Amino acid sequence: MDTLDTLKAETLATIASANDSAALEEVRVAVMGKKGSITALMGDMRNLSPDERKARGAALNAVKTAVEAAIEGRRGELKTIELERRLASERIDVTLAPRPETQGRIHPISQTVDEMVAIFAAMGFTVAEGPDIETDFNNFTALNIPPEHPARQMHDTFYLPPSAEGAARVLRTHTSPVQIRTMLKNKPPIRIIAPGRTYRSDYDQTHTPVFHQIEGLVIGEDIHMGHLKGCILEFCRAFFQIDDLPIRFRPSFFPFTEPSAEVDIGCSRKGGELKLGNHGDWLEIMGSGMVHPKVLENCGIDSTKYQGFAFGMGIERVAMLKYGIPDLRSFFDADLRWLRHYGFVPLDQPNLAQGLSR
């Protein structure tokens, strides 16, 4: 075998054994690059006679063509091999069990708020918010509770030092100031709910200094108590998941609604056990009423043109009823065993189609 055949055989063998495109490129340069072995042999032809050059040129070209073809072929093979290698290295096993540390639970308060938002969103309500630190004006005065009004005493208010501008401030005692904020900012029609933290200086079996409420406010040109009743009935049946749950409106008093009504839902207390449903007994769950004309006027809304209804409900209270949680104070203990028991799995998002909670 002459040297040309040897070179060809050796080169083809290296090409065949090149393991990746970088190795293949190395072979190509070593043979056909500027200083490559075949390139050098081509250069040597200068010294040959024309006849010799012709024969030698043909032989060299044949080797070059064979080498080029081999490189092309190997390049194609390597492409497939490298793709497979990459797919194998980037493979994700989606059947792996979730990481054991993802054991967090949604707190029953958050779950309850999410459920309420899902129900009211389906009725066209949007969620509004306000700050925990409120002006005395928004929390009381604008809601038709002037200074010296006896209703202020009932709220066990936490008072704060006045703001830089001298405005009296409080920790909001209810979510009703969000009504004021909403009506000062937006023109009717208005349809909002406002869930959030509220504060009263009170602590016993059924009261904690921090608790949660959800407020509802609807303002329009022809809103009446029938709308309030339908809205609350729809909500209560969806929330407690009892299709024939009865509700009852009982006359009451709030300075910011006229008329005002306390809402009761049906229940039974037989054998000392509380059970919700159409059983003849009643349980109070929220305050409500038609927004007082003075409140509308305090927010620059023409009370001869617009009316509306509002309601407010304690979130812990209805969460305890729905989920059978016996002790109010346990909501705020941050006890992991309690949370594991009463908490909800994060991926079970409440929605009306799939069911609010499972």
Size of site (CB under 6 A) for ligand PHE: 11
- Please tell me whether residue 177 binds ligand PHE under the rule CB under 6 A: no
Query: How many CB atoms lie under 10 A from the CB of residue 251?
Result: 9
Write down the least CB distance from residue 109 to ligand PHE, Å: 17
Of residues 247 through 266, those in contact with ligand PHE by CB under 6 A are 254, 257
Assign 3-class secondary structure to 108-127: HHHHHHHHHHHHHHHCCCEE
Q: Convert residues 220-249 into a mask of x (bound to ligand PHE by CB under 6 A) and - (unbound).
A: ------------------------------
Whether 291 and 298 have beta carbons less than 8 Å apart is answered as no
**Shorter beta-carbon distance to ligand PHE: residue 214 or 267:** 214
- Please tell me whether residue 287 binds ligand PHE under the rule CB under 6 A: yes
Give CA–CA dist 234/22, Å, rounded. 70
Write down the least CB distance from residue 234 to ligand PHE, Å: 18
Give CA–CA dist 168/95, Å, rounded. 59
Give CA–CA dist 175/310, Å, rounded. 11
The CA angle 291-322-198, to the nearest 5 degrees, is 45
Query: With 0-12 CB in 10 A as exposed, 13-18 as middle and 19+ as buried, what is 75?
Result: middle
Write down the least CB distance from residue 261 to ligand PHE, Å: 8
For residue 317, which of 207, 235, 203 has the smallest C-alpha distance?
207
Region near ligand PHE per CB under 6 A, out of 28-36, 204-212, 285-293, 296-304: 285-293
Whether 290 and 228 have beta carbons less than 8 Å apart is answered as yes
Strand order in the sheet with 169-171: 133-135, 169-171, 159-160
Q: Which of 112, 176, 182, 298 binds ligand PHE (CB under 6 A)?
A: 176
- Please tell me whether residue 288 binds ligand PHE under the rule CB under 6 A: yes
Write down the least CB distance from residue 344 to ligand PHE, Å: 26
Write down the least CB distance from residue 204 to ligand PHE, Å: 17
DSSP secondary structure code for residue 17 in this structure: H
- Residue 262 marked as a ligand binder: no
**Shorter beta-carbon distance to ligand PHE: residue 166 or 251:** 251
**Shorter beta-carbon distance to ligand PHE: residue 83 or 210:** 210
Residue number, nearest CB to ligand PHE: 312
**Shorter beta-carbon distance to ligand PHE: residue 41 or 217:** 217
Of residues 309 through 338, those in contact with ligand PHE by CB under 6 A are 310-312
**Exposure string over 330-347, b if 16+ CB within 10 A, otherwise e:** bbeeeeeebbeebbbeee
- Please tell me whether residue 289 binds ligand PHE under the rule CB under 6 A: yes
For residue 128, which of 184, 167, 173, 171 has the smallest C-alpha distance?
184
The CA angle 146-149-152, to the nearest 5 degrees, is 95
- The CB-based long-range contact list for 244-247 (8 Å cut-off, 24+ gap) reads 244/277, 244/278, 245/276, 245/277, 245/278, 246/278
**Shorter beta-carbon distance to ligand PHE: residue 174 or 317:** 174
**Shorter beta-carbon distance to ligand PHE: residue 182 or 288:** 288
**Shorter beta-carbon distance to ligand PHE: residue 115 or 215:** 215
User: Binding site for Mg(2+): which residues?
Assistant: 258
Contacts with ligand PHE, residue ranges (CB under 6 A): 174, 176, 215, 254, 257, 287-289, 310-312
User: Binding site: which residues?
Assistant: 258
